[in-house]
Each structure stands twice: as C-alpha cells, then as structure tokens.
Copies of this chain bind each other. A is one copy, B any other.
Amino acid sequence: MEQQDVTTVGAEGRREAEQGAPVVAVVLAAGAGLRFDPDNPKQLVALDGKPIVGWSIDAFEHNARVSDIIVVVNAHVRGAVEQLITDATYTKVRAVIDGGAERADSTSAALETLAAAGVPGDAKVLIHDSVRPFVTQTQIDGCIDALDEFDAATVACPSTDTILLTEDLGDRETVRSVPERRHAYRAQTPQAFRFSTIHEAYDLASDDPDFRPTDDTRVVVDYLPDTPVAIVGGSPLNMKVTTKDDMPFAAVIADEITKAAAKRHVHTMFTQALS
C-alpha cells in the first residue's frame, strides 16, 4: 500500500469497467473529527463489527463498474486503514495517500495523485466521504450514469426541513431568506465529475485565498458556473456520521442492512439446496 502504487490507477481496472474511461472512487478518510472524538476517529468506529471507512470502501469495491479506489487518510488513521485494507483483501485500492487539514486539501491531494498517474480527462471520478457508510449501489450507479450526460453530478436528497439562509445580526444569527423547499436539497456523496472538470475547477479555485469549500460540487458551481451539476437521488439513510449523537441512528441502519444481507444469504442457500 505504498504511494507509488498510484501509477497503476486507471490501468488494471479499466478493462472490466466502463468502456474506455476508468471509474475512480476517491474515499476521503482524512477528517480530524473534532466534532466527534479526536481520540477515537469516527471513520474507524465499528458498526456491526466493521469500521465505518470499511463500509464505504466495500461499497465501491463491490460495484463492478468502479475500476480503481484511492483512499485519503491522515497520519493518525493511516495504520488502521492500511491494516483494514490488507485484511479485507480489496482488489481495487491502488493507493492510500495523505490528505490535508481541510476537506478541499484532501480532494486536491487525490486529484494531483490522479494527474501524476496519467488518469485521462474523461475518467469518471466519484468523491465520497468515508463517514457516509451506507451509500447504495443505486447511488453509485446513478453517479456513473449521470456523467454520460453531465460533466458533474452529486447525490443529494430533498430537504424535508425548510432551509433558512442566515446572517449575523450582532450576537444573534437571523434569517436572511427562505428558499422554496422543493428546490432545497441536502448534498450527500458520492459527488461525481469527469476528471478534467473537477481538476480545472480546483485549479481555478486554488488562486482564491478564501477558498474553503465544504463540498466538491460547490467548487464546480462557483468556478465553472456554466457547468450544470446533476442531482442523483439520495436518501436519508445515506447519512453522514458527524457527532456521537449520530451513532445510535447509524447503528439502527447498520443492523437493518446486516439483517437484510443475512436474509438474502439464507434465501440463496435454500435456493441452491433446492435446485
């Protein structure tokens, strides 16, 4: 799992994946998790016996159309993530690279790695927050499909809450405007881009000293405003584990998924035994 492995990105997996263009998943696991527990990084917390980052890598490993996976880590979690990857015998993980202090630094690091590896501009790049462990195959496929029509796409789900846009008024946050609820979506991940599109957007953004985006879609919307970004249907179950308060919910979802998988397994065994 050395950083020089990246030269294989887009090569090995390309044959069995999309015709022509590699499909690269970037799993961001470099977050410091200051809102969770800095001593117990949330991406390593186990759900039904598997670390959260493992759930995320699994989702892309098991999608036949994904050719390559890059995992972005920090020094604190690198050892555990490398061990996890070794134990799970993933076949698509090409590199574990170091991210940066901010989310955008980690995406930048991944994009530079892909550029150095010679990944073509039409490669489909799916950037995923490792702390969204319950991303579905339908959502991953939806991203890959959307890139046939658009150069950028993101999983998102309609907000069931009305969204308020606020401003500071002295020591109080007050409401500035209230957008139509039917046009307010909660961004999730993966966020997917043709490689040339996201690379160009980050290049343009890097000149801006105030550039601290909380997601990659925003970089395209702000710096390549003529590039439409398609919405791919998300779900509240594709939740982000942000604080410890999220863990009971994540545990409920993990249990349901594990139970459903066990049921499918039993069904398959019966079907085979009876055939």
Q: Which residues of A come within 8 Å of B, CB atoms? A: 149-150, 154, 156, 159-167, 169, 172-179, 181, 183-188, 214-215, 217-218, 221-222, 228-231, 235-237, 240, 242, 245-246, 248-249, 252, 256
Known interface pairs A160-B240, A178-B218; 9 further A-B residue pairs with C-beta atoms within 8 A, sorted by A's residue number = A161-B186, A163-B187, A165-B184, A169-B230, A175-B221, A175-B231, A178-B217, A178-B222, A237-B245
Chain B nearest Cβ from A218, distance in angstroms: 4
Chain B nearest Cβ from A215, distance in angstroms: 4
Known: A183-B165, A236-B245. A229 touches B160 (CB 8 A): no
Are B256 and A248 in contact, CB atoms less than 8 angstroms apart?
yes
| Of A154, A167, A175, most B-chain CB atoms within 10 Å | A175
Are B183 and A162 in contact, CB atoms less than 8 angstroms apart?
no
Known: A214-B181, A245-B237, A252-B248. A188 touches B176 (CB 8 A): no
| Partner of A163 from B169, B175, B184, B240 at Cβ < 8 Å | B184
| Partner of A252 from B159, B215, B252 at Cβ < 8 Å | B252
CA distance A167 to B184 in the complex (A): 9
CA distance A176 to B181 in the complex (A): 14
Chain B residues closer than 8 Å to A172, beta-carbon distance? 149-150, 230-231
CA distance A174 to B225 in the complex (A): 12
Chain B nearest Cβ from A106, distance in angstroms: 15
Known: A160-B242, A249-B249. A176 touches B183 (CB 8 A): yes
CA distance A164 to B230 in the complex (A): 11
For the complex of A and B, 8 pairs with smallest distance between CB atoms: A161-B186, A178-B218, A175-B229, A162-B187, A173-B231, A162-B215, A164-B185, A174-B228
Return the chain B residue nearest A218 by Cβ: B178
CA distance A12 to B108 in the complex (A): 64
Return the chain B residue nearest A216 by Cβ: B162
